[in-house]
Amino acid sequence: MALGEELEAVLASAATEHGVPGAMAGVLVDGECHTAGYGVTNVEHPLPVDSATLFQIASLTKTFTATAVMLLVDEGKVALEDPVAKHLPDLAARTALDFDAITVEHLLSHQAGFDGDHLFVTREADSLDALRDARRLFPPGSEYSYNNAAFSIAGALVGAVSGDPFESFVQTRLLRPLGMDTAAFRADDVITHRVAAPHFVAGDTTMVLRGFGWQPGWELGAVDRAAGGLIASVDQLLSWCRFQLTGQSSEGEQLIAPESLDRLHTPVVRVDAIEEGALDWSVWRYAGGTAMGHGGLTVGYCSNLVVAKEHGVGVVSHTHAVNGAGVNQAVRRWALERCAGIIVRDPEPDPAVVIEPGAFAGDFVAPFARLTLSAGEQPNTITLTSNQRDDVDGWKPPPDAPMTLAFFLPDHAVTLDASGPARVARFAFDADGRVDWLLWGGRRAPRTA
């Protein structure tokens, strides 16, 4: 069976299993692109999903933002060790964040140290000013916590240094040279093309989502665009995968210095036992080789992109439903094994790891939920329960169902019964041996007082 036919079969099987209305996937291997589609763009006005169909790609946008900053580094206009205050001198007074201590690299590697999802739960006129009330989690540069707002700041920095609005800079310096002509940030720019609508799936019910979540409309607001606002197709993201291998435009022009491209991909911080953080890219070392990638989630869209540089392989998948993560995982794991010999498996609980459940018990505050840890029903397990936060007035997403976690290291646990792909939690302990904070969904959740 040809590679494209295999991809089509994998995608159709996963999409059917998870009940998504539409999905699109692509693989770059040996310089050739193979794509497969499933389902429709909109259950109310159905058109077939194809490789040119546009999806919100959410946080995959951050890889473009980091590259935009690195283009300015290549030009000598920015240095990664620069304090943010050097380029945005008024932002510290507006936000009370220490931008003399937070560097450009801290922004791009999720080491800025504050609650980067604060703008989603507390919106103030589409402005960064609301960050003055964001929780401070750790000193800048000392740890990792996934930070959306840091990329909003990085987008503002690109605009200030280049003299062009962030969206225009990305269009001119990256999208057009890569042939991504229909990719854009605004609904007005994409509405004349085939666009996948966002959906919610629950049992046998599939509905188009409207007016739900943190977004004021279908497109992301200006302050969020550098963090997650790009709209693009699988064909276009396969071009982005190729760029990660060469740094070249579709015409062969070198857009970024090879050493700068490598710098983007080089880990600078530990995330957990199985992941490292580069300049936005997540890096994993698996049996068979190393992969780097990023996921993306907005209201009704779920995307994933992964590149195995040493094998010259790129994998892209999109779904336009909130439950699409399982589809993306199936495509990613199949493609990495089939095309690069990289085998990805979930961590397995280690029965030799013995924990004291009382050390974990307590309440913790994540950006989008209040988490409660308690002893699990089985030995050496804990239960994680999510509840809506009662201390914010903004967006409050529905809480996850309770999950059971078992340990594969004394400070790492994996879910046994998550509704989607398995999830990993990392724990840190205080001097008394009690959990001080956990990393959940890549975000730090400190224990409540």
Per-residue pLDDT of the chain (449 residues; tens, 9 = 90+): 799 999 999 999 999 999 999 999 999 999 999 999 999 999 999 999 999 999 999 999 999 999 999 999 999 999 999 999 999 999 999 999 999 999 999 999 999 999 999 988 876 667 899 999 999 999 999 999 999 999 999 999 999 999 999 999 999 999 999 999 999 999 999 999 999 999 999 888 999 998 876 676 899 989 999 999 999 999 999 999 999 999 999 999 999 999 999 999 999 999 999 999 999 999 999 989 999 999 999 999 999 999 999 999 999 999 999 899 999 999 999 999 999 999 999 999 999 999 999 999 999 999 999 999 999 999 999 999 999 998 887 777 888 999 999 999 999 999 999 988 999 999 999 999 999 999 999 999 999 97
23 within 8 A of 317, measured Cβ to Cβ: yes
| Token couple for 409 | 């290291």
Whether pTM exceeds 0.85: yes
Tell me how far apart the alpha carbons of residues 367 and 444 are, in angstroms, rounded to a whole number. Answer: 8
Long-range contacts of 199-207 (CB under 8 A, 24+ apart): 199/20, 199/21, 199/43, 199/300, 199/320, 199/321, 199/322, 200/300, 200/321, 200/322, 201/18, 201/19, 201/20, 201/21, 201/321, 201/322, 201/323, 206/19, 206/21, 206/43, 206/321, 207/43
Residues 6+ positions from 169 with CB-CB distance below 8 Å: 68, 158, 159, 162
CA-wise closest residue to 54 among 301, 313, 228 = 301
Write down the residue that tokens 């969904």 correspond to.
441
356 within 8 A of 431, measured Cβ to Cβ: no
Facing residues of 321 across strands? Answer: 199
Q: First vs last Cα of the chain: how many Å apart?
A: 59
Angle at 228 between CA 122 and CA 33, to 5 degrees: 160
Phi and psi at residue 191, to the nearest 5°: -65, -20
